[in-house]
Each structure stands twice: as C-alpha cells, then as structure tokens.
Amino acid sequence: MAAMGILGIGSLLFFIFGVSVEEVSSASATVNHVTEGREVTFGSVIKLQHDRTKFRLHSHEVPYGSGSGQQSVTGFPGVEDANSYWIVRPPSGASVNQGDEILSGTIFRLQHMRTHRWLHSHLHQSPISGNYEVSAFGGNDQSDTGDNWRLEIEGKGNVWMRDQKVRLIHLDTGTYLHSHDKKYTRIVAGQQEVLSNDPV
C-alpha cells in the first residue's frame, strides 16, 4: 500500500488508503464523514476510505494472532459500521486546540472511537503481505511515538478538507499507510489487510 491513505475524512482515509489492495500502491484516502464543516480539524470524527478499493479504515477488539498480538486494523467494505470511526488528535504534549485546522505536513494521531486505541505501526510484519503491521495500540493514558502520522495532501490546497485525497506517513518508520485487495479468510473474513510500507 504505498502511501496509505486508507483513511479519509468523510470519505475514508483516502488511503492511498484511498487504499485498494491489488497492488498496494501509494496509499491515498478520502474522508467520508466529518462532524461538521468541510475542514478536518483536531477533534473531528472521520472515516477514511481507501481510494482504490473503497474499503474503510476499521478496527475491532480482535487481536492479531501473530506479530504484535495487538488489536487488528483492517479495511472494511460496509459504509455504516461503527468500528470505522476515528477521532483526529494531536501528538502527545502538542499545544493545539480542538477545532484547529490541519495543514499538509501536520503530525497527528488517530484514535479509534469505540475502543480508544491509537492507529499504530512498528517493525512487526503484517500477517498477509509481510510489510509493516498496522495495529490499534494503547488507550487514553497510553500512547507512544508509533502512534504519530504526518499528513500529505494530494493536489491543490494546504488545509485538510473533506473528500480530499491524502496520504498518511508513519513517523517512526517513514512508511505510508496502505491497503490492497488481499483479504483475510478467517476470523475477519472478507476484510482487507491494512499495512504500512514504502511508497511505490
């Protein structure tokens, strides 16, 4: 998933996660839902959609059976699922206010709305493709640098807007959030692998 924009606001992470797996290519994602207005801001509740496959960035209380054993993150085909909502948060210790706009290059975290865990990556191998695993980690009082992502906006504009294609770069590994059409066959059957890898 090259740049993984698998998540898009209002239009699901333009996973480039606008992420379609088939050939994981740069992840672009589009935001499908924003709590209000067209700008994505700190505190916005969003869904991110992989640009190519149209699956949404998703998590649930199902741990990986290998790798880190942390809560799994997948691409989900349904539109209305409550496990596909993420809250845009600043990095730990950052002095920003809820409602502040997010510019290209901004570092932020995504908190899974239902389980309160952070979108995370690290050096564990992803289960299907063997790239970097993407998991949901920690909680309100537990976060580390593996939860930090940098926004890269595709095309015109410097402010993150709804329905705009974006890519997410993982700070610790320098890789992009990504997805493709490779699907799990057990436990979360039919859901796509979400991973982090180098841009294609």
Question: How does residue 33 score in pLDDT terms, banded at 50, 70 and 90?
Answer: low
Give the whole-number percent of the chain exceeding pLDDT 90: 69
Output the pLDDT for position 1: 35
Distance CA 182, CA 124 (A): 18
- pLDDT of 187 reads 82
Averaged pLDDT, 104-121: 97
Compute the average pLDDT of residues 140-157: 94
Write out pLDDT tens, residues 56-103. Answer: 999 999 999 888 999 999 999 988 889 999 999 999 989 999 999 999
- Residue-level pLDDT at 42: 96
Q: Strand locations in 92-191, DSSP E?
A: 107-112, 118-125, 132-137, 149-153, 166-170, 176-183
Q: What is the pLDDT of residues 167-195, one digit of tens each?
A: 999 999 999 999 998 999 888 899 999 99
- The pLDDT value recorded for residue 181 is 87
Whether 10 and 35 have beta carbons less than 8 Å apart is answered as no
Q: Is the pLDDT of residue 150 over 70?
A: yes
In angstroms, the CA 110 to CA 56 distance is 14
Length of the chain: 200
pLDDT over threshold 90, residue 133:
yes
Q: Which domains does the chain have, with CATH numbers?
A: 29-197 (2.80.10.50)
